[in-house]
Structure 1
Amino acid sequence: MASAHPAPPAFVRLAAHPLRWRLLTALASGDLRVRELVALAGEPQSLVSYHLRLLRDGGLVTSTRSTFDGRDSYYHLDVRRCGAALGDAGAALHPALRPGSAREPGRARQHAGVLFVCTGNSARSPIAEALLRLRTGGRIEVASAGSRPRPGMHPDAVRVLREEYGIDIGDRRPRHWDTLTGHEFDYVISLCDKAREVCPEFPARPRRAHWSIPDPGRLDYRALRGVAADIDTRIGHLLPVLQEAPS
């Protein structure tokens, strides 16, 4: 069973220490002897040697004997190992931070279902629905609904999607989430603080997430463009999550 409080990745634990970070950044410019690192760090040799040993044990630095003076050793930063460890640390925080991760619509699991919810289902959630469908090429099930659907779509939401993304939702009608309570989704994402508090449970215990997006009813067209851009950015971060196998 996974720990409720996972430990930080090894790279983070090693590199986060102020002295070890100074040693790593010093070695990034080239190989150095212990006495040179002591001078740069301004710390006692015993302390520098201790932290160098930790970095070496962690595989971030290596040491070799000097071919000029065998009593000296040069420390070398393993840049490739550091890069891989940094990438692993990023991926541990969020799949979108995995090196090479990008918006790859064809890689989203085809059976992954996502439901976006807000109050009126006239702007935020249909924008998210339309953009996720666009970014995945229609390869996953995606829907949106609201707790108190409005009579029609927000005209500026329709305009933003049409002008900025080439998507036409003008003939769409807001719907109540009760019409979807029998459906199974992998993810239910609320985009409205009010909707988050009253969102019902759905079958199969989907993963829940919340995106706190401003109320479009209080925004002008320019601000709503910014909201759509924010949602699109979040969609980009969601795509690698959809590629992950369910726990």
Structure 2
Amino acid sequence: MTTSDRAPVPELMRMAAHPLRWALMTELAASDRRVRELVAAVGEPQNLVSYHLRLLRSAGLVTMRRSSFDARDSYYHLDLSRCGTAFAEAAAALHPALAPAGRQWPAGSSVLFLCTGNSARSPMAEALLRHRADDVQVMSAGSHPKPRLHPNAVRILREDYGIDLEPRRPQSLDALAGRRFEYVITLCDKIREVPRDHGPAVTTHWSLPDPAAAADTDQASYPEFQRIAREIDTRIAYLPL
């Protein structure tokens, strides 16, 4: 067999084979990060980190989103769904028996989702995780809870996922004082900037914009609520529980 006859190396393998790109992917698999956080984590110059982030973005493995709290910042996010598909395809290309088996959720894990108002992102995340895994203890809260759930959050979960959020009301993080969780996941950039002691919990950040800020009316913001719900559901599917 000549070199030209060989199957091409999957792009994911070429991207992941570089030690620095693998280190960046590993960091982003745990949490959305800013460039300066990645620089500190991998111990390499910012220009080199930025170069390899551009390569990962061009391959579709990493995305970037402006912070909804401080527009001068950007968060990088590893597209776990794209990576999962690409790894599965690469494994199957090497040998069919290497294709991954189905995901099993362990019983007894505890997860807390946090955002500012606890009216949209965090209650949707709570409901979607509970819908996927009955044995996972999951709650959500807000630093400054709003009086009620956003009607689009209620509508989307009912119509798209068959989940009824009502009569649940937003709750304050203060109401959970003393409770301990294995995983604490922040879903908005604002609440991440407020230092909090979560004890031994594994902390993760998902940089998700407020879907209610996308438009002036509930009807106009509905597509953004749908998009955010899909992204949350995808990220939940890849939680390292």
TM-score computed with the length of structure 1 as normaliser:
0.57
Q: RMSD across aligned C-alpha pairs, in angstroms?
A: 3.2
8 Å Cα contact 2:117/2:145 also seen in 1: yes
- Is 1:196–1:210's contact at 8 Å kept on the other side of the alignment? yes
Amino acid at match of 1:128: A
Superposed structure 1 runs of 4+ greater than 4 Å apart:
92-96, 98-103
Aligned to 1:209: 204
Unpaired segments of 5 or more residues in structure 1? 1-22, 30-76, 243-247
> Residue 113 of structure 1 aligns with which residue?
110
User: Alignment partner for residue 190 of structure 1, among 166, 173, 186?
Assistant: 186
Other-structure match for 1:28: 6
The letter of the residue matching 2:130 is R
Residue identity over aligned pairs, in percent, reads: 46
Runs of 5+ unmatched residues, structure 2: 31-79, 89-98, 215-220
**Structure 1 pair 24/202, CA: closer, same or farther in 2 (3 Å)?**
farther
* Offset of residue 231 of structure 1: 0.7
TM-score, normalised by the number of residues in structure 2: 0.58
CA distance in 2 between counterparts of 1:146 and 1:190 reads 10
Distance 1:111 1:165 in 2: 24
Q: What is the DSSP-based 3-state SS (H/G/I as helix, E as strand, rest coil) of the residue aligned with 2:130? A: helix
User: What is residue 233 of structure 1 aligned with on the other side?
Assistant: 234
Q: Match of 1:121, as an amino acid?
A: N
Shift of 1:183: 1.3
Higher gyration radius (CA): 1
SS of corresponding position for 2:226:
helix
Q: Residue 145 of structure 1: which of 135, 141, 147 is its match?
A: 141
2:189, 2:2 → 1: CA distance? 43
Q: Which amino acid aligns with 1:28?
A: R
